[in-house]
Amino acid sequence: MIKLISLVEYTDVEEKPIKSAIKNKEEIQILWGNGKIFLPKNIKTNSAKALKDLMSNPIAGIFNFRNNSVKFIFWDDWSDFKFVNKVKQFLQDMIRLKYITASWKLTIQNPKNTRLSLGGAKVNDLLNYDASYTKTIPFAFHGTSSYFIDDIKRKGIVPNIYLDDEHFNWDKGYTINSNKQIYLTIDYDRAKYYADHCVDHLKDNGIKSKPVVIRIKNLPVDNVIADDDIETNMGMLQLLNMIYHGKKDKTYISGIRQSGQLAYNGRIPPTMFDKIIWLK
């Protein structure tokens, strides 16, 4: 059974229960939020501080001192990318406290089936992951169809305006520049959705094909711009930005953090492909 351990603050850690868990090789759940490690039950919901802490989106990690592993369970695959820096800070704090090391095993689990692991790595792998997106996009995915794959292998991923074929992934975009851009996502499942959409669109035109996802590793940000959704829609974060600063935040980094999506102004050559994934 998982024990829930309450830690007040990094500077005032309840070391006794943690050391006890380490000594007894137990599995415990720890929450990190706003620089503090705590449990929601310790927050009085009638205070302003409580609301601030509750709205800070605390990160929950399950630490297993028996096999030196930590796992996180996220619920909304593409939007959870905005929490990467918080997870990194959480793990760095745990390392500074000498409760874990960078060599611990790290797993991300499926919330619908917690016995199904979505992949594993080392804590150090995540700490080295560049979540700033200011130099490169570590991984970007493009969903398409097998109908286009031969051309893509020869020419790369090309904006619709430069294609001779009348069949596109989408009938039209949101802006006049949509057909001059390539659309990518940092979420693999979202790319699968767009690949399925592409296949269905072609099927409506009498063309049979299979969904394909192309993975690009370390995409340079020189030609990366905000996705159309950021250009044309206003989410709650952008609304708050408008209220406080009088301007809309339309940077590609905001787009990635809000929706996991981005656009690329130009062609992505085949030499930049890291992997081509054929789906059933």
DSSP states along 140-172? EEEEEEHHHHHHHHHH-B--GGG---S--SSS-
Task: Look up the domain containing 22 and give its range.
Answer: 3-127
What does the DSSP 8-state code read for residue 272? G
pLDDT of 83 strictly over 80: no
Q: What is the spatial order of strands in the sheet that 273-278 belongs to?
A: 224-225, 261-264, 182-185, 136-145, 211-220, 273-278
Burial of 118 (0-12, 13-18, 19+ CB in 10 A): middle
Asked whether the beta carbons of 34 and 61 are under 8 A apart, the reply is no
CA distance 145 to 154: 15
In this prediction, residue 14 has a pLDDT band, given cuts at 50, 70 and 90, of low
The total domain count for the chain is 2
Q: Looking at per-residue confidence, does 1 or 159 come out higher?
A: 159
Tell me the pLDDT band of 11, cut-offs 50, 70 and 90.
very low
Do 87 and 214 fall within a single domain? Answer: no
User: Mean pLDDT, the chain, as a whole number?
Assistant: 77
pTM for this model (two decimals) = 0.64
Return the pLDDT at 243: 61
154 in the same domain as 270: yes
- pLDDT tier, 155 (very low <50, low <70, confident <90, very high otherwise): very high
Residues 207, 266, single domain; the answer is yes
Are residues 163 and 146 part of one domain? yes
Residues of the chain with pLDDT > 90: what percent?
A: 35
Asked whether residue 105 falls in the same domain as residue 86, the answer is yes
Same domain? 79 vs 182 = no
**Residues 258 and 142 occupy one common structural domain:** yes
Same domain, 247 and 165: yes
One domain for residues 189 and 102:
no
123 and 230 inside one domain: no
Q: What is the pLDDT of residue 221?
A: 94
What is the H or E stretch that residue 87 is in? helix 84-96
The C-alpha angle 8, 13, 17, rounded to 5 degrees, equals 100
Same domain, 213 and 242: yes
- Identify the pLDDT of residue 107: 87
Q: Strand pairing partners for 73?
A: 109
Q: Please report the pLDDT score of residue 131 as a whole number.
A: 80
